[in-house]
Structure 1
Amino acid sequence: MATPTPTLGAFLALDLGTTTGWAMRGHDGLITSGTVSFRPRRFDGGGMRYLRFVNWLTELDHLAGPIATIWFEEVRRHAGTDAAHVYGGLMATLTAWAEMRGVPYQGVPVGTIKKHATGKGNASKAMMIEAAQARGYSPADDNEADAIAILHWAMETKGGMA
């Protein structure tokens, strides 16, 4: 899909994972953020986390959207196989969801996000949280802080076009 360009609709930024960080600038300019867990429940089948992700995206689109553009953290290396599988499944689910709705999306490299937020491409989780706090946010964890950083990168660089 084409590179997202900022529009008047809602911008969504995601740090994909079992605990997904999210930040959204609504069509009214209000920024909200948080985390959502896609940890499997006791009797879940293997695909349930992805179905819950689709339902969450759809609900977000209805309540705060419509979502006009999506940016997500593009991870090239994972600490473990399970994390890589979860990330790949969530990314596939996200991109399919966006394609079905004609919503442009783009991955943003981890180093790009960290450098924009902190000035260091290899910033620690603590540094990312501090950067979000310096902007006036109170992120629950590094996942939310990363999503906030992605959103600000997208807004301030016009999605890498500035």
Structure 2
Amino acid sequence: MPDVRPEPGRFSVSCILALDLGTTTGWALRSPDGLITSGTVSFRPGRFDGGGMRYLRFTNWLTELDRLSGPIAAIWFEEVRRHVGTDSAHVFGGLLATLTSWAELRGIPYGGAPVGTIKKHATGKGNADKAAMIAAARARGFSPADDNEADAIAILHWAIETNGGLA
């Protein structure tokens, strides 16, 4: 995995993207001026879409986000090692492959953070449930629409506060 640490002194002023990958992807972005925005985006396929359309839409979304808010200096995502369902595992794998190839093409460092690490950092409990993650985001002053956005907010704060797990 590439080293996602920007040059010394740049981490605090760079654009960082955090993602909770899934059909409904949660995202949080810290712009170079320190403003944090977050939300969710759906990559649910349409009725007449081919199998790869969700990944093409994800690629286009990343490109537009980078163009409008970037340049993105680093990307962090929730590294899920176990999925409840086969379909969610396939979607996660496809989105992760799309994300990493997109980042590689642009020279953007990326890294995954284990689910338990993110949950423990956000709530103090490595097996926190969805409600606890939403409550933790609200305690930081955010109003997440769902647990996907709350997880992305938690990933972003973990990355900033631990320098990507190195602090």
How far does the alpha carbon of each residue in 1:102-157 deviate from its partner, in whole angstroms, 9 at most, with x for none?
Answer: 00000000000000000000000000000000000000000000000000000000
Q: Aligned partners of 1:126, 1:4: CA distance in 2, in Å?
A: 30
Partner of 2:3: 3
Partner of 1:141: 146
Partner of 2:128: 123
Aligned to 1:139, the other structure's residue is in SS state coil
Aligned to 1:58, the other structure's residue is in SS state helix
Q: Aligned partners of 1:39, 1:50: CA distance in 2, in Å?
A: 10
Partner of 1:114: 119
**How big is the alpha-carbon RMSD for the aligned residues of Structure 1 and Structure 2?**
0.7
Aligned ranges 1:1-162 → 2 under 5 Å: 1-6=1-6, 7=11, 8-162=13-167
Report the AA paired with residue 50 of structure 2.
G
How far does the alpha carbon of each residue in 1:22-81 deviate from its partner, in whole angstroms, 9 at most, with x for none?
Answer: 000001110000000000011100000000000000000000000000000000000100
Length, aligned pairs only: 162
Q: TM-score, normalised by structure 2?
A: 0.95
Runs of 4+ in structure 1 deviating by more than 4 angstroms, as ranges, are none
Residue 9 of structure 1, CA deviation: 2.3
Q: Aligned partners of 2:164, 2:113: CA distance in 1, in Å?
A: 9
Q: Which runs of 5+ in 2 are unaligned?
A: none
Q: Aligned partners of 1:141, 1:4: CA distance in 2, in Å?
A: 28
Residue 93 of structure 1, CA deviation: 0.2
Q: Aligned partners of 1:5, 1:13: CA distance in 2, in Å?
A: 14
Aligned to 1:14, the other structure's residue is in SS state strand
Aligned to 2:83, the other structure's residue is in SS state coil
Q: Aligned partners of 2:35, 2:155: CA distance in 1, in Å?
A: 16
Q: TM-score, normalised by structure 1?
A: 0.98
Residue 3 of structure 1, CA deviation: 2.4
Determine what percentage of the aligned residue pairs are the same residue: 79
